[in-house]
Amino acid sequence: MADQKKQGDSKGAKQEFVQHLTPRSVDFAQWYTDVITLTDLVDYAPVRGCMVVKPYGCALWERIKEELDSRFRATGHQNVMMPMLIPESLLLKEAEHVEGFAPEVAWVTQGGKDTLQERLAIRPTSEAIFCAMYSKWVQSWRDLPLLYNQWCSVMRWEKSTRPFLRTSEFWWQEGHTLHETPEEAQDETLRMLEIYRQVAEDALAMPVITGRKSESEKFAGAVATYSIEAMMQDGKALQAGTSHNFGTNFTGAFDINFLSREGVLKHPYGTSWGASTRLIGAIIMTHGDERGLKLPPQVAPIQIVVLPIAQHKEGVLEGAKAVADALANAGLRVKLDDRDTVSAGFKFNDWELKGVPIRVEVGPRDLAAGQLVAARRDTYEKITLPIEGAPEKLRALLADIQRGMYETALAFRAAHMKTVASLDELGEAAQNGFAKAMWCGDEACEDAVKAKTGAGTRNMPFDQTPVADTCVCCGKPAKHVMYFAKAY
Amino acid sequence: MADQKKQGDSKGAKQEFVQHLTPRSVDFAQWYTDVITLTDLVDYAPVRGCMVVKPYGCALWERIKEELDSRFRATGHQNVMMPMLIPESLLLKEAEHVEGFAPEVAWVTQGGKDTLQERLAIRPTSEAIFCAMYSKWVQSWRDLPLLYNQWCSVMRWEKSTRPFLRTSEFWWQEGHTLHETPEEAQDETLRMLEIYRQVAEDALAMPVITGRKSESEKFAGAVATYSIEAMMQDGKALQAGTSHNFGTNFTGAFDINFLSREGVLKHPYGTSWGASTRLIGAIIMTHGDERGLKLPPQVAPIQIVVLPIAQHKEGVLEGAKAVADALANAGLRVKLDDRDTVSAGFKFNDWELKGVPIRVEVGPRDLAAGQLVAARRDTYEKITLPIEGAPEKLRALLADIQRGMYETALAFRAAHMKTVASLDELGEAAQNGFAKAMWCGDEACEDAVKAKTGAGTRNMPFDQTPVADTCVCCGKPAKHVMYFAKAY
C-alpha cells in the first residue's frame, strides 16, 4: 500500500494529500496495487481471494459490458440467466472439462440444516448447465443456431490472487452457442474473437494479437481455443478474451441431438466465448503511467471533469456548472468537482490519478473571456477554448485522445515484439515483450522453452507467413508461427 | 404442463398449434405455470428449486432493471459488486439477522480438494458483507451518505418453490445506505419505497399499497420495514418490494463509526431496499388473461410485432419490413415475424400468448391502400392506420394501452378491497382480496386472524384515517389501519 503524506497548504484548512504511487519502473506490481486501491476501483473482500468492485470500477465494467453486449445483440445473441449451482454429476459428464476445473471448484454441501445428497459446484464456468438445458431445448435444425450469452460471476478457488487479474470470484460474460454444421461453429468462434478484438482495440485502445492457442493451452473440453493477447507495460502478455470451438465434445457428452434437414439425428456443434473483469486490469497495465490510471475516453465513466478555479469568487461555481451542464446535455460523461474541502491542486492530482481523459478548468478570468482551459490526461497538453461550441470541440478532443492512446500502445507493443531465431534470442526478447518464433508444434518444445526462458506460448496468429524453417527449440521442421511471452 | 394439440391446416404443411392454457378461473396456479412455460419466460433448472431465465424473461428483467436503475442513479446511488460468499462469522454478527436467514443458507464447505476452516454462506442477502466493507470505508461525516446498490443473484434454500415467486436462487437489486442522522435514514427508506411504487404503477401498470409492515413481518434486523403490496387476479396479495430502516442495528453490530460534524464518534444510520425477479410473477398475475401474458408496453421486450399477411405475395414481405424498420427507427421495440414455417393464425395466437401489446398486420390490400391494421392485446380492438405517420400513432396507442392496463388493474383492486369491521367480514373479504381493518398492534391478534381466516397482515398504509375504534380481532382499542390478505 502506498504512503499518504499530508503536505503544507498555504490556505491552511484545505486538504492537499499527494497520493504517493510507487514508480512503475521500480516495482510494476506494487505500482499496479497502488493504482487500483488509490483510485477506488476495488478493495479486498473479507473472503479469501475475492474482490469488492467499488463504484468507479463498477462503472468502468458497466461501460465495457455495454461495448460487448451491444455487439453481441447486433450479431443475434440473446441474454439468459442460468443458475449459479451445478450438480456434481453434470460437471462430471465431459471428461476433460471436469479434469480441468474440478481442482478449483467451491462446493456447496449443506442447504440450511441439511447435508446435501449430491455436492453442488458454484459454477467455475457454465458449459455443463447450458448443455443440460440445451438437451431439453434442441430438437430440430429449426432450433439452431442457438445463440445465448449470460453476464454473471463465476468462482475458481485460486491459490494466488490479484484484483482483476486473478481472483476466486470474477465477473464475466459467457456465450454458449449451438450450430448445425462445423463450419458455422467455426465461423461463430472467429466472429466472437473478432468482436473481442474490436472492443479491445476500438473501445479499450489496446492492441491485441488474435490467434489460436496451442493444444496444451486450450480450454478443457475444446477442439480449438482462440484468444486475444495484449502486451502490458512490464513486458508481460495478458490473455484478454477467449473463444472456443467445441465441435461435438460437449453435445456428445450431454446427449444433445437434433433432427437435421436431411432427417438424420445428429449432435450440433458448439462454441463458447468469454471476457471478464480482467479487462480492467488490462486497461490499467496498458495505459497507466506515473500519475496513475489513464482511461480510454470510450469506456471512461467520467470523460471530462470540470473544476471551478477560485470557486469562492462570485459567479465561478455557476459558470462551471453551466459548462458542465452543456457538456452533459451534449451526451458527454461529465463530473463537476465542486468540493470545497480540498484544494484545486489536490483535485488536479486526484483526477489525474483516476485517469479522467480531460480536465476542464473554469476560473474567473476564463469566464470573463468566455473561455475554458482543457487539459489532456494523455499528453498533459493544455488548450484554451471558447465556451461557445466547447462540447463539439471536446468531443473531437476525446476522439483524438482515444486514437492517440491506441497509437501509443501500438508503438509500445511494436518496440516489445521481436522475431527470433534461437532460444537465446527468444529468452532475451521475452524478458520484455513478445518473441515471434517458429515452432514444431510439440508440447515438449513448449515445455522446454518455458523451463529455459520463463516464456510460454501465447497464440498462433492468423498470418502464418513463416519467419524461419525450423523450430526455435528443437531445430526440427517448423509447423507454426507462434508468439511466446511471459504472461499474467 | 399444458397440452399441445396439432390442428388441421387447410394449407397442409404449416404448423398451427393451439397452445392450450388452463383457464384462470379453473386453476389459477396451473394457468400461471402454463403461461410461464409456454411463453418461454423461464424453465426449471437441474438444481433443486432453481430457475433458468430464458431470453424472453431475461429481456423483460433487463427492462425492469433499467426502470429501477435509472431512478437509483437519478437519486445519487452508485452500483458496486460484492462477493457472493460471506464467512459464517460475519453472518453471525447481527443476532436477529442470522436467526432470520441461517435456516435457509447454502453453505460452501470445500474449496478444490480442501475442507474450509470456516463455512462460507452463499449470500441470502448482503447486509453482512456491505457492513464489513463499510466499517473500513467510513471514517467521517464527509463519507456520508454512502448510497450503494448492487445487482446480483442471491440464494435461499427454500422448501417449496415456484418460478419468479419463490425460488432458491433469484435475481434482484439490493441497496445499502448509511446516513448521518436517523431522519436522513428514514427519508431514504421512504424515498426508495416511493421509487418502487413509481416503477410498479408507472412502468408495470400495477397499483400497489405502500405502507409499513408489522413487527412480526419486518426484515430480520430492521427497525422498520416498508413494502409495496399488489393484488393478484386470484385475490392474493403479493409483496413486490421492500425498504428497511435499520437504525444503528447493523452499524452497531459491525462496529461502523464516523466522526460527526460535532467531533463525536457515532454509528451511522442504515437502510436497505430490494426488488427482485418476483416482479415478473407480479406482472403475469396482475395482467394475464385467458390468452396468456399481457405485458405493459413500457417494459415489454417487444412492444409491436409486425406480421406480413399472405407473405408469399409479391411485395408483402418488403412492405412489412419497411413498416417494421420505420417503427424501429422511431425508437419502438419491434419484431418482424416473417417465419414461413407457421401459419398466420399460429402467429396471432403465439404473440397474444407472449403478451406483445400491439400486433400490426400488413397484407397486400393494406399495402395497396397505404395502410396497416393494429390490434391491441389489451382490448382486442383493431384499428386501421395510414402507414405514413404510423410510428407516432402507435406510440400514442402504446401509451393508451399502458394507461388502460393500469386502470383495469386499479378497478380490479377496487373491486377486491373491502373495509371490514368483524373477523367474519375479514375472513370473507380475504377470500378474494384485501380486507382493510383496524388492528390493536398485538402479534397475538395477527396470529389469531391468520389462524381463523388464512389472511396475514400486509402493511399499514400511510393514510391512517381510522375506519373503526376497536381491533377487528380482540375488540380492544385499535392502533393501526392494517391491510390483511392471503399472500404469495
CB contact under 8 A, A58 and B52: no
CA dist list (Å): A371 to A320, A365, B245: 11, 8, 47
Tell me how close the Cα of A460 comes to any Cα of chain B, in angstroms: 32
Q: How much is the pLDDT for A234?
A: 97
Domain A43-82+126-287: CATH class, spelled out: alpha beta
What is chain B's alpha carbon radius of gyration, rounded to the nearest angstrom?
Answer: 25
Residues of chain A with C-beta less than 8 angstroms from the C-beta of B112: 102-106, 157
Q: How much is the pLDDT for A101?
A: 87
Pairwise CA distance, residues B377 & B36, whole Å: 18
Tell me how close the Cα of B149 comes to any Cα of chain A, in angstroms: 9
Look up residue B438 and give its DSSP letter.
E
Q: How much is the pLDDT for B94?
A: 86
Residues of chain B with C-beta less than 8 angstroms from the C-beta of A62: 79
Q: How much is the pLDDT for B11?
A: 39
CATH code of the domain occupying B304-399 = 3.40.50.800
Q: How much is the pLDDT for A128?
A: 96
Q: How much is the pLDDT for B159?
A: 85
Q: Is the bond preceding residue B386 a cis peptide, omega within 30 degrees?
A: no
Q: Indicate if the pLDDT at residue A14 is higher than 70.
A: no
CB contact under 8 A, B80 and A86: no
Most B CBs within 10 Å, among A107, A161, A168, A340, to test the B interface: A107
Q: How much is the pLDDT for B19?
A: 62
CB contact under 8 A, A47 and B153: no
Pairwise CA distance, residues B426 & B416, whole Å: 12
Q: Distance between the two ends of chain B, CA-based, in angstroms? A: 21
Mean pLDDT of chain A: 94
Q: How much is the pLDDT for B10?
A: 37
Look up residue A49 and give its DSSP letter.
T
Same fold, A304-397 and A417-485: no
Q: Residue A9: which pLDDT band, with cuts at 50, 70 and 90?
A: very low
Q: How much is the pLDDT for A6?
A: 38
Q: How much is the pLDDT for A136?
A: 97
CB contact under 8 A, A133 and B58: no
Residue A18 exposure: Cα atoms within 13 Å on the Cβ side: 9
| A window 147-166, beta carbon within 8 A of B | 148, 152-153, 155, 157
Q: Residue A10: which pLDDT band, with cuts at 50, 70 and 90?
A: very low
pLDDT digits (tens, 9 = 90+) for A343-358: 999 999 999 999 999 9
Q: Residue A404: which pLDDT band, with cuts at 50, 70 and 90?
A: very high
Q: What percent of chain A has pLDDT over 70?
A: 96
At the fourth CATH level, the homologous superfamily of domain B417-485 is: C-terminal domain of ProRS (3.30.110.30)
**Which three three-digit cell numbers place residue B101?**
436467514
Contact A172, A196 (CB under 8 A): no
pLDDT digits (tens, 9 = 90+) for A49-98: 999 999 999 999 999 999 999 999 999 999 999 999 999 999 999 888 88
Nearest CB partner across the interface for A108, out of B57, B106, B152 = B106
Selection from A111, A116, A120 nearest residue B103 by Cα: A111
**Total-model pTM:** 0.95
Q: Indicate if the pLDDT at residue A212 is higher than 50.
A: yes
Alpha helices in A233-372 (DSSP H): 249-253, 278-287, 316-329, 344-353, 364-369
Question: Which is it for strands B106-111 and B146-155: parallel, antiparallel or unpaired?
Answer: unpaired
Contact A147, A179 (CB under 8 A): no
Count how many pairs of residues, chain A against chain B, have C-beta atoms within 8 Å: 154
CB contact under 8 A, B106 and A85: yes
Q: Where are the beta strands (DSSP E) in B169-207?
A: 169-179
Pairwise CA distance, residues A397 & A382, whole Å: 11
A51 touching B (Cβ < 8 Å): yes
Please list the ranges in chain B whose pLDDT falls under 50: 1-13, 16-18
Residues of chain A with C-beta less than 8 angstroms from the C-beta of B120: 47, 106
Most B CBs within 10 Å, among A14, A47, A336, to test the B interface: A47
Q: What percent of chain B has pLDDT over 70?
A: 96
CB contact under 8 A, B157 and A111: yes
CATH topology of domain A304-397: Rossmann fold (3.40.50)
CB contact under 8 A, A78 and B61: no
CB contact under 8 A, B55 and A79: yes
CB contact under 8 A, B81 and A58: yes
CATH 2.30.40.10 for the B43-287 domain, yes or no: no
Question: Which is it for strands A78-79 and A146-155: parallel, antiparallel or unpaired?
Answer: parallel
Domain-wise residue ranges, chain A = 43-82+126-287, 304-397, 417-485
Residue holding cell 513486458?
Answer: A235
Q: What is the mean pLDDT of residues A378-403?
A: 97
Residue holding cell 462454441?
Answer: A271
Q: Which long-range contacts (CB under 8 A, 24 or more apart) does B46-49 make?
A: B46/A87, B46/A90, B46/A129, B46/A132, B46/A133, B47/A83, B47/A85, B47/A86, B47/A87, B47/A120, B47/B168, B47/B169, B48/B168, B49/B157, B49/B158, B49/B161, B49/B167, B49/B168, B49/B169
Packing angle, helices B316-329 and B390-415, rounded to 10: 70
Contact B325, B338 (CB under 8 A): no
Tell me how close the Cα of B483 comes to any Cα of chain A, in angstroms: 32
CA dist list (Å): B412 to B232, B402, B430: 9, 16, 14
| A window 100-119, beta carbon within 8 A of B | 102-113, 119
Q: What is chain B's percent helix, strand, coil content, to nearest 5?
A: 35, 30, 35
